[in-house]
C-alpha cells in the first residue's frame, strides 16, 4: 500500500530510540492493544498501561516514522480520519463502524491529543496498531503534536497527572518525527492544515529533515496550521 515496504518492528526487539532512551522490558504490542480495547467492557474508566511500555511504544514508533518518508505515497482503499483530540470513545466507535486494522486501512491526519480527557489512550492505540500493522495504519502530524501547543491544551497535564513529565517529553520526541503529508493515488494531497504559498514542488516536503520542531512561519507551519480564507 505504501510507497515502499517497511520493516515491521516486532514486540521482541530491544530499545531503539537512541542513546537517550533507557533499556526496559520488551515491548508487548498485543498486551497494549488488548488492554486498551478492554475499555469497552468498563466504559468511562481510564486504561493505565505501564509507563515503561508506553515509553517503548513511543521509541519504536519514532524509529518506524523515521524509516518512512516525510511525504507518504499511499494507495486506496483507505479511510481518512481527522481530529480526535483525546476522544477515545469516538475512536473506538469509528473502528466499530468502519472496521479495525488490518481489515481496514487508515490515514489519520493528526491532532490525536489535547482537549479530550483520554489523549493517552487515543494516541497509544493508534501507535500500537501502527506498530503491529505498519502498512495498514498511517499517521500524519497535526498542529497539536507540538510541545508548544500540547503543553497548554491538556496533553502535558494529562501525562504529568497520570504518569510523569518525562513521559510527555518521550511523546514529544516521537511526535517530532511524524510525517507531514500523504499523497493518495497520486491525486489526493492530505495534510492536517492546508497548502502554503511557499510550496512549489512536492520535493520540498520530501527533503524536510526530522526530528522537526514546528516553526512560527513558513512551509511546515502552513502545512499544519493553514485554513482556507474562502471556499
Chain centroid, CA 19 distance in Å: 22
For 95, 121, 123, 184, the CA distances from 190, given in Å and listed in that order, are 21, 25, 20, 8
Contacts of 32 (CB under 8 A, 6+ apart): 49, 53, 57, 124, 125, 128
In the residue annotation, 85 being an active-site residue is answered as no
Delimit the domains of the chain by residue range: 29-225
Q: What pLDDT is attached to residue 11?
A: 38
Q: Percent of the chain, pLDDT > 70? A: 88
CA 97 to CA 104: how far, in whole Å? 11
- Given 85, 144, 192, 200, which residue is catalytic? 144
What Rg do the C-alpha atoms of the chain give, in angstroms? 17
pTM, entire model: 0.87
CATH superfamily entry for domain 29-225: Metallo-dependent phosphatases (3.60.21.10)
Residue 229 has pLDDT above 80, yes or no: no
Neighbours of 182 (CB within 10 A): 24
Q: What pLDDT is attached to residue 23?
A: 58
For 17, 67, 75, 125, 171, the CA distances from 176, given in Å and listed in that order, are 13, 14, 25, 19, 9
Chain centroid, CA 93 distance in Å: 18
Give per-residue pLDDT as tens, 53-70.
999 999 999 999 999 999
Amino acid at each position: 500500500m505504501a510507497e515502499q515496504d517497511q520493516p515491521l518492528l516486532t514486540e521482541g526487539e530491544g530499545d531503539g530510540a537512541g542513546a537517550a532512551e533507557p533499556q526496559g522490558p520488551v515491548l508487548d504490542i498485543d498486551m497494549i492493544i488488548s488492554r486498551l480495547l478492554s475499555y469497552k467492557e468498563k466504559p468511562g474508566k481510564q486504561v493505565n498501561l505501564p509507563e515503561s511500555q508506553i515509553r517503548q511504544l513511543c521509541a519504536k514508533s519514532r524509529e518506524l516514522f523515521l524509516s518512512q518518508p516525510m511525504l507518504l505515497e499511499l494507495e486506496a482503499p483507505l479511510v481518512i480520519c481527522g481530529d480526535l483530540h483525546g476522544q477515545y470513545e469516538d475512536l473506538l466507535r469509528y473502528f466499530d463502524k468502519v472496521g479495525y486494522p488490518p481489515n481496514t486501512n487508515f490515514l489519520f491526519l493528526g491532532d490525536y491529543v489535547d482537549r479530550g480527557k483520554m489523549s493517552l489512550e487515543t494516541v497509544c492505540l493508534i501507535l500500537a496498531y501502527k506498530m503491529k500493522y505498519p502498512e495498514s495504519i498511517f499517521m500524519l502530524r497535526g498542529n497539536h503534536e507540538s510541545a508548544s501547543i500540547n503543553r497548554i491544551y491538556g496533553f502535558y497535564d494529562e501525562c504529568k497527572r497520570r504518569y510523569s513529565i518525562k513521559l510527555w517529553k518521550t511523546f514529544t520526541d516521537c511526535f517530532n518525527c511524524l510525517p507531514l503529508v500523504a499523497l493518495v493515488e497520486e491525486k489526493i494531497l492530505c495534510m492536517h492544515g492546508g497548502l502554503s504559498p511557499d510550496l512549489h514542488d512536492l520535493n520540498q516536503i520530501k527533503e524536510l529533515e526530522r526530528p522537526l520542531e514546528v516553526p512560527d512561519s513558513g512551509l511546515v507551519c502552513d502545512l499544519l496550521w493553514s485554513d482556507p480564507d474562502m471556499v
